[in-house]
């Protein structure tokens, strides 16, 4: 089998203004969530018929879907104002098996386009449960690697939402309501997360790209070509993966040029 460097790699080239667009989207996403928190729109009220309230020791197992649904609603609320200051023009929730939870589009004048499209993956972590959501699986290695080859300007944003949950008695029913409250947030462009903060989990299909500790992430500026190479390095560094397996994927998903 040939060495990695000897293959004719397809090297995607992003638009010159990609870094500016990435910074704009990350800032807008964080500002929208922060505005929701400051305006007290950060609570999810869960009505149950449980007299003792929600099972707090297992609450992190059900928090994810609630937090994701909350995020979709917060962005959709902004969209209702066609003159919103973030210039958000489209919000679309995605099906469960898609690589991101929602797609956002922002209006921004660019040389060859009039907007920015970003896919957003929402990750929920519990403020009061140690280790909750600390090292999440982000997405499939093969899917994300292919996305950047097919679209060099592909933008994948990780939105980390920290929450806490408590119960309070409903004065009308006498039962306990669960209150899920978003209390913190941070957004990252996956392409700029530092090498030290990214890891590869060989379990599940072609493996999963992970963030080692989503609460403490450093950033590194890099091109999309450099990021594709980094993803390959993470894959090949795994003791459970081989160059032959990488080559099979590279041929299947057209990461390398036809050598015939």
**Residues 171-185: tens digit of each pLDDT:** 887 777 888 899 999
Four-residue CA torsion sign, 24, 30, 36, 39: negative
Kind plus residue range of the DSSP H or E element containing 68: helix 60-79
Q: SS3 sequence, 165-190?
A: EEEEECCCCCCEEEEEEEEEEEEEEH
Residue 175, both tokens: 């039962």
**Crossing angle for the helix pair 141-150 and 224-237, to the nearest 10 degrees:** 160
pLDDT of residue 134: 67
Q: In this structure, how many other beta carbons lie within 10 angstroms of the beta carbon of residue 24?
A: 17
pLDDT of residue 99: 87
pLDDT range class, residue 247, cuts 50, 70, 90:
very high
Q: Which is more confident, 171 or 1?
A: 171
Q: 161: closest CA among 220, 227, 93, 75?
A: 75
């Amino acid at each position: 089998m040939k060495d990695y460097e000897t293959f004719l790699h397809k090297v995607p080239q992003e638009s010159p203004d990609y870094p500016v667009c990435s910074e704009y989207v990350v800032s807008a996403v964080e500002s929208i969530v922060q505005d929701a928190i400051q305006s007290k729109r950060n609570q999810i009220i869960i009505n149950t018929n449980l007299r003792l309230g929600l099972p707090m020791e297992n609450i992190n197992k059900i928090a994810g879907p609630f937090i994701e649904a909350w995020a979709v609603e917060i962005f959709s609320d902004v969209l209702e104002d066609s003159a919103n200051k973030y210039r958000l023009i489209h919000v679309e929730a995605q099906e469960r098996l898609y690589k991101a939870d929602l797609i956002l589009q922002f209006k921004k004048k660019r040389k060859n386009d009039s907007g920015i499209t970003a896919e957003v993956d929402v990750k929920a972590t519990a403020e009061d449960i140690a280790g909750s959501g600390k090292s999440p699986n982000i997405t499939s290695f093969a899917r994300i690697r292919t996305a950047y080859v097919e679209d060099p300007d592909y933008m994948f944003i990780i939105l980390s939402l920290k929450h806490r949950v408590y119960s309070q008695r409903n004065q009308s029913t006498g039962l306990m309501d669960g209150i899920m409250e978003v209390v913190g947030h941070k957004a990252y462009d996956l392409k700029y997360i530092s090498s030290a903060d990214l890891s590869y989990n060989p379990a599940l299909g072609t493996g999963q790209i992970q963030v080692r500790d989503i609460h403490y992430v450093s950033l590194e500026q890099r091109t999309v070509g450099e990021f594709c190479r980094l993803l390959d390095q993470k894959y090949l560094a795994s003791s459970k993966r081989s160059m032959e397996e990488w080559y099979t994927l590279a041929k299947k998903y057209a990461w390398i040029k036809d050598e015939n």
